[in-house]
């Protein structure tokens, strides 16, 4: 009976990743992210590899430790489309995060949703101050930096009324005022 463990106690115990697990995961990650036949030609940047490596190692170790990496798939590489999709998802997540925090260009960070802005774009009849009601990001597959466009509105009571849409960042001056609640 002394060797019997309660399930809750078993879940609390564990062991950190071993050097062998980290080494195996590192090898597998490099194998997934290099061009076949050219180990020096990376398909993704070193920045991305650094970002995903801890999660990849964790997933690798969890798969090994739970027995989910059985012999059925030994010698069968993961197809390139699956790898590309995973990194595209990561890029999309990162781009959205950068957009939300305005870090892609800290010197020229755009306004946030429900921030007051002054519009001074090509529609001169619409010049004035408005609230940002939407931000649209359009991806650039080369630079991975999104192009942002803004929708602006006025408030009539508590109802946002669209005024100008698809506004470029250069046509806006963010003001230090945010809408707290409708």
Architecture (CATH level 2) of domain 107-178: Roll (2.30)
Instruction: Give the tens place of pLDDT for each residue, 100-136.
Output: 554 445 455 678 888 899 999 999 999 999 999 998 8
Residue 86 in this model has a pLDDT that exceeds 60: yes
Instruction: Give the tens place of pLDDT for each residue, 24-56.
Output: 888 888 888 776 766 666 666 677 777 788 878
CB 44 within 8 A of CB 87: yes
Which of 49-53, 69-73, 169-173 has the lowest average pLDDT?
Answer: 69-73
The domain ranges of the chain are: 14-101, 107-178
pTM: 0.44
For position 47, what pLDDT does the model report? 73
Q: Go through the chain and tell me how many residues it has.
A: 182
């Amino acid at each position: 009976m002394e060797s019997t463990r309660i399930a809750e106690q078993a879940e609390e115990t564990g062991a950190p990743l071993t050097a062998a697990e980290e080494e195996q995961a590192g090898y597998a990650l490099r194998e997934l992210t290099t061009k076949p036949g050219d180990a020096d030609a990376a398909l993704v940047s070193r920045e991305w590899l650094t970002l995903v490596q801890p999660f990849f190692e964790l997933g690798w170790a969890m798969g090994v430790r739970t027995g989910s990496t059985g012999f059925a798939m030994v010698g069968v590489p993961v197809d390139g489309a699956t790898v590309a999709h995973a990194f595209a998802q990561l890029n999309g997540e990162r781009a959205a995060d950068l957009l939300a925090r305005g870090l892609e260009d800290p010197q020229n960070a755009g306004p946030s949703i429900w921030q007051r802005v002054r519009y001074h774009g090509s529609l001169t009849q619409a010049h004035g101050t408005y609230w940002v009601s939407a931000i649209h990001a359009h991806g650039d597959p080369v630079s991975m930096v999104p192009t942002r466009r803004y929708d602006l509105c006025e408030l009539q009571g508590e109802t946002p009324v669209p005024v100008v849409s698809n506004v470029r960042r250069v046509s806006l001056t963010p003001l230090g005022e945010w809408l707290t609640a409708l």
